[in-house]
Amino acid sequence: MFGGLSPDLRQLLSKGQTWSIAAGLTGPIFQGGKLRSEVRVAMAQFEQARLQYEQAVTNAFGEVSSALFALQKLAAAEQERQRAVNAYQEAVRLSLLRYNSGLSAYFEVITAQESLLNSQNLLAQTRHDQLVAMVNFYKALGGGWQVEETAKPAATQASPAPARSP
């Protein structure tokens, strides 16, 4: 009351408690640049994550673009190969007609059939390539899937051999 300290304040200032309060309040501020370094590390990690994300997105767009281009080219190739198959089928028909009427040898029919078979094989390969390109397209779009083994084929399952009687 008369210019003295209150008992609570006197207790606070005695026994070195002032220093502990000051250290507790100013401790996080004075860490010798540690906080500044941690901020730089966090910014660098953020930049690294951003660049990895941009790279992943760019790769994904590239894969989708490549898959679409492959699908377009294979569709055009399939049309051309189908036209070739149709033409060779007509050639086989005409060569058989010529052979049956006695105007040519059977060698002409065999040659036409061989050309037809080669053309059909190319068409089948193109259709296979289209299916592979479609799978790659779905994969590039993120259509991941899990292969589940629900049932094994009968050939791989062990079955008891039938007993033979002598």
CA–CA dist 71, 63 (Å, integer): 12
122 within a domain of the structure (yes/no): yes
Residue 91 lies in a domain: yes
Q: How far is residue 34's CA from residue 77's CA, in Å, rounded to a whole number?
A: 64
pTM of the model: 0.56
pLDDT number for residue 147: 61
Q: What type of residue is 62?
A: G
Report if residue 106 sits inside a domain.
yes
Q: Is 20 exposed, middle or buried (0-12, 13-18, 19+ CB in 10 A)?
A: exposed
Domain, as residue range, for 69: 60-141
Tell me, what's the pLDDT at 82? 96
Residue 108 lies in a domain: yes
Structural domains counted in the chain: 1
Q: How many other CB atoms are found less than 10 A from the CB of residue 21?
A: 12
User: Which position has the token pair 């207790």?
Assistant: 11
- Written as tens digits, the pLDDT of the chain (166 aa) is 455 555 565 565 555 555 555 555 555 566 667 888 888 999 999 999 999 999 988 988 898 899 899 999 999 999 999 999 999 999 999 999 999 999 989 999 999 999 999 999 999 999 999 999 998 888 888 876 666 666 555 555 555 555 554 4
**Distances, alpha carbon 75 to alpha carbons 78, 80, 149, in Å:** 5, 9, 33
Within a domain: residue 135?
yes
| Assigned domain for 134 exists | yes
Please, which residues have CB within 8 angstroms of residue 163's CB and are 6 or more apart in sequence?
none
157 DSSP assignment: S
Residue 104 CB partners (closer than 8 Å, separation 6+): 95, 98
**Structural domain includes residue 159:** no
Q: Decide if 120 is inside a domain.
A: yes
